[in-house]
Amino acid sequence: MQVCGVEIKGTEAVISLLSISDGLFNIPDCRVRKIEYTKKNTTSDLRYFQATFAKLIEDYKVDAVIIKERPLKGKFAGGALGFKMEAAIQLIPDLDVHVMTNIDLKETLNRYPVPVDFSETGLKIFQQAAFNTAFAYLAPNCL
């Protein structure tokens, strides 16, 4: 099973692809590390973001997308454009999308720690939250 972990930061969807098989995980090369949504906030821009994301998922044969939940209020609350991006991803037809809460993410990573140091994954540091989200989704069923 191949999944795509997503962390929405501002107007960017930071992604990390991951699959786990027989206790070993694989991080496939991906043509992008993040997908940006312009700040123009027009319908055509949102559709372009959604189509770009859907094409990436189709090209890499992703089975599920796991989005790291952002708080609705408080110091680290997400912005309106970020929630529009999240909705656009969730509304892609025939795509299995899950939203993982921060509590579930932390509990799962405590129970199933990542077996390698993040610096050895070959990913950029800004992709760590997206990677952890994908790993936390897959680990309970595959390790």
> Can you read off the two tokens belonging to residue 49?
């973001």
Q: What is the pLDDT of residue 143?
A: 60
Q: What is the pLDDT of residue 5?
A: 98
> Is residue 49 a contact partner of residue 83, using CB atoms and an 8 Å limit?
no
CATH number at residue 98: 3.30.420.10
Q: How many domains does the chain have?
A: 1
Q: What is the pLDDT of residue 72?
A: 82
Q: Is 70 helix (H, G, I), strand (E, B) or coil?
A: coil
> Is residue 115 a contact partner of residue 18, using CB atoms and an 8 Å limit?
no
The angle that helices 128-142 and 102-111 make with each other, rounded to 10 degrees, is 60
Quote the domain boundaries for residue 23.
2-142
Q: What is the pLDDT of residue 25?
A: 87
Residue with tokens 């890499």: 60
Whole-angstrom Cα Rg for the chain? 15
How high is the mean pLDDT in each 10-residue block of the chain (143 residues)? Answer: 95 95 88 90 92 97 96 80 94 97 96 92 96 95 72
> Is residue 141 a contact partner of residue 108, using CB atoms and an 8 Å limit?
no
